[in-house]
Chain A
Amino acid sequence: MDTKITKTVSELRPAGANAPAPASAFATALPFLALLVIGIAFPLFGGGYWGVIATRACVYWVLVSGLNLVVGFAGQIAIGWVALLTLGAYTTSVLAAGNVLPALPPYLALAIAALVGAIFGLIVGLPALRLRTFYFAITTLGFATIVTQVALAWQSVTGGGVGVPGPIFPEPFSSQWGFYYFCFGLAAICTWMTANIAASRFGRALTAIRDAEVAAEASGIAKPALLGTVFLFSGAVAAVAGGLFASLQSYITPDAFTLDLSVLFFIAILIGGRSSILGPLLGTILLTVLPEFAAPLVAWSTFLYAVLLLVIVLAIPGGIAEMLDFKNRRPLESDRAIVPRPELVARLLDTAPDAGTLTLDQVALSFGGVRAIDGLDMEIRPGQVHGLIGPNGSGKTTTLNVISGYYAPQHGAVRLNGAALPALTRHQRAHMRIARTFQTPRIVGSASVLENVMIGGTIYGRATFVESLLSLPRHRRDEAMLRKTAMLALESVGLERLAAVRADRLQHAELRFIEIARGLMLRPSFLLLDEPAAGLSAEEIARLSTLLLAIARAGTGVLLVEHHPDLIFDICHHITVLNLGKTLAAGTPAEIRSHREVVNAYLGG
């Protein structure tokens, strides 16, 4: 008996009213504001020497802020990013010094370096799309070595071992404190820009790629385009950091760009925590400043960084960000109930144009010698719940995977309104308004429930990456729209009270409903569900039934792969029974229930 009764219609509050209050936005901004104030006031209490250290920390953060999107958010192990710092430093210095072309003004040299950095960021980063994690890490290390070797060898341009003088920026940035403010300003801008991305659909998409790649694809997120954009940005800011670095050093030689520096950048992000801006920022400051406190620490600094990394990985994988995440330490209510509000579903799934029928037309798929699906015909109509049942290994999930584009059938085709769906284009399915859930919930554990659901609506964002970077109006409209829709989806499935909670704190049943909410964000014409009732209590299954029926009533075609016969017979309009990849029987629940072969092979009794 649940004590949290659903509200009557008249008590319905407007959707989105439960969205996390703006007050928490101030709490999030407070540490950044504090750092801003300290940074601006720094010359008043820091001496000349600490000014150099502070400038260095700002320069490093400019690079790390961009790398953070690659390593922290996208989860790519790019250890050798110092290659971009080297490139940016040399490009700026060489252009400003006039070795090759007539000397350019330093700002222009810096801008060109940013462009060069963007291109090379893409070159260094793209292997990530083809290679496994460890392989990619090794190739970035190789790149770092190569860039240094080229700098040594290309004497006519880079001066070889002798090096080149760094650029000097004109008044008012030529004095020590002037230059400090220049670097600090750029660091602040980078913080703001990457924070904007973190709170945009791009940031969420990156974490989705990292932690739940299949779910990201199903939500329409195209990994190559997104990663490519992030590598471009990250390369550009790393190169800008390089130019600033060269100016700070006043003279650069190849041996200034050590692997130790690359390790520093990488570890700063991991100590700071993934999917965080504040964490890596504090991590960068910590790692830059730490060796300066005691002279012996300077020689042991890389050793200490490695120890910190090991401790973090073993003990607090979430890093500083996890340590500062106070709101997720508050205990959750222990007997929570999931109470969907099916009446909201209709409001969520506004009139989707009738996409027609989803048909499987003689689909056959073999894995090696095994015929997983052997000539399957099936029809899923909008507004109806179609059940797909059968023993283990009969090909149910495989069928679902074929529909959602993971496998290409050797024969036959999947058709939407008669037109065959292109195979193996799984991230296109979202654009066709085909959504799905997974046998094991694929959730971004470190993100909040609300953010997880918002991932489902990624393709409906209109703002470009640059617009999000600069927090332009279209980006803010996107965010507001996605937030509102996600809250509505959460309210429909009954989990709105947990919107701000980190997803990995939730129970298994709640994760299943979150997946459904995420799927609903797409306003799908078809919703494919892979054993959504697995692990649910009888009460929860009953609520799931009402929810699914409401979804069907709103016009969506639902394909329900399931093992629970009660659920199937309760809500399905049509049922297909699979056995060994072939249709054993197909028809209405009444027909199936009495079908002799089905009873023998599967239902028993």
Chain B
Amino acid sequence: MVTSIILSGTAMGCIYALIAVTYNVMFSASRVFSFTAGTLGMIGGVLGSLFIARMGLPVFVGFLLALAGGALLGIVTEIVAVRPVLKSLDQHLYVLSTLALALMIQQFTAIEWSTEPQPFPRLFDIARVEFDQQYWLPMLACAGVIVGLELLYRHTLIGHAFLAIAEDNYAARALGLPERQLRMTSFALAGVIGSLAGFAGGEMLLAFFANAPMLTFYGFVPVALGGMGNNRGAVVAGLLLGLFQQTANFLVGGIFASVAVFTVFIIVLLARPEGLVGSALQRRV
């Protein structure tokens, strides 16, 4: 039982962490949170199942197409739901526009794909063992993304540009950085990460449209607890969340587990609204 808890808890935690990173990458690029992060995770699973299981494409091709689909959705989010409202004075329209877009994608998937969870194909045709691919695939994906982002931010020009935009938007623009293209690229990157989360976790989560609201919530918890824009905090918080949730699941069952997770989340958040790691924001008058 304990091994099962650790394996599935870490795996789920990695999926939640990846969605949290998706939120963070979008936030760094635009200072807004997008409701589409969880939807991207759902799409990764659905596209994987569609291309590989239903259409019979080879695994690697299906994988690339799923990531491409995520990138596309990320760009669509930026163009349709984020860019138009960044200009407006009302700071909170982005909540509504990204919510609307996320709902549209979810409902479309529900009607056209299925309202029921569909099986996700087994990616590598090896026998089932305890430390099965359904567990180490999300862990691998999470590790890969973290390492990749570190390399990107520290050692590439475009990574530095991303950091500049996140740190000080006006200064970056004054330096001549193409803000709009960088933002679109950020959102495409976020789309890839989100889709990867859903694809890697496909066997655990199945291809199901209702994964979207679930990942929207559980993927945001690490962001809130780890501090906005803080990827390391998000990963730690995500792993903790996954382990806590699965422990509760195995011990008391699904219903009580979600109540427990939510109660803890709300209490922590009310005690420290800026998260366990983040810093409180000063308000400008």
Contact = CB atoms under 8 A, between A and B. Distances in A.
B100 A142 contact: no
B107 to A, nearest CB: 4
A75 interface: yes
A391 to B, nearest CB: 20
19 contacts: A77-B96, A131-B270, A131-B273, A135-B273, A141-B217, A142-B262, A143-B262, A146-B258, A149-B255, A263-B103, A299-B111, A306-B101, A306-B103, A307-B100, A309-B103, A310-B100, A310-B104, A313-B85, A317-B88
Nearest to A218: B285
A143 B95 CA distance: 18
Interface string A336-351: 0000000000000000
Contacts of A406: 285
A263 B103 CA distance: 9
A300 interface: yes
Where chain A touches its partner, the secondary structure class is helix
A435 interface: no
A134 interface: yes
A4 interface: no
Q: Which interface residue of A299, A397, A438 has the most chain B CB atoms within 10 A? A: A299
B93 interface: yes
Contact of B92 (A77, A306, A401, A445): A77
Contacts of B269: 127, 130-131, 135, 139
A548 B97 CA distance: 44
A146 B259 CA distance: 6
Interface in A86-143: 127, 130-135, 137-139, 141-143
A138 B259 contact: no
Interface in B205-238: 213, 216-217, 220, 224
Interface residues of A, number: 43
Contact of B95 (A131, A133, A139, A145): A133
Interface of B: 33, 80-81, 84-85, 88-93, 95-97, 99-101, 103-104, 107-108, 111, 213, 216-217, 220, 224, 255-256, 258-259, 262-263, 265-266, 269-270, 273, 285
Contacts of A134: 33, 95
Nearest to B213: A259
B265 A142 contact: yes
B107 A300 contact: yes
B92 A313 contact: no
A215 to B, nearest CB: 10
Contacts of A143: 262
B81 A142 contact: no
A309 B100 contact: yes
A314 B97 contact: yes
A214 interface: yes
A141 B255 CA distance: 16
B266 A139 contact: yes
A313 B93 contact: yes
Contacts of B213: 141, 259
A145 B213 CA distance: 10
Contacts of A482: none
A303 B97 contact: no
A309 B33 contact: no
A323 B224 CA distance: 38
A270 interface: yes
Nearest to A438: B285
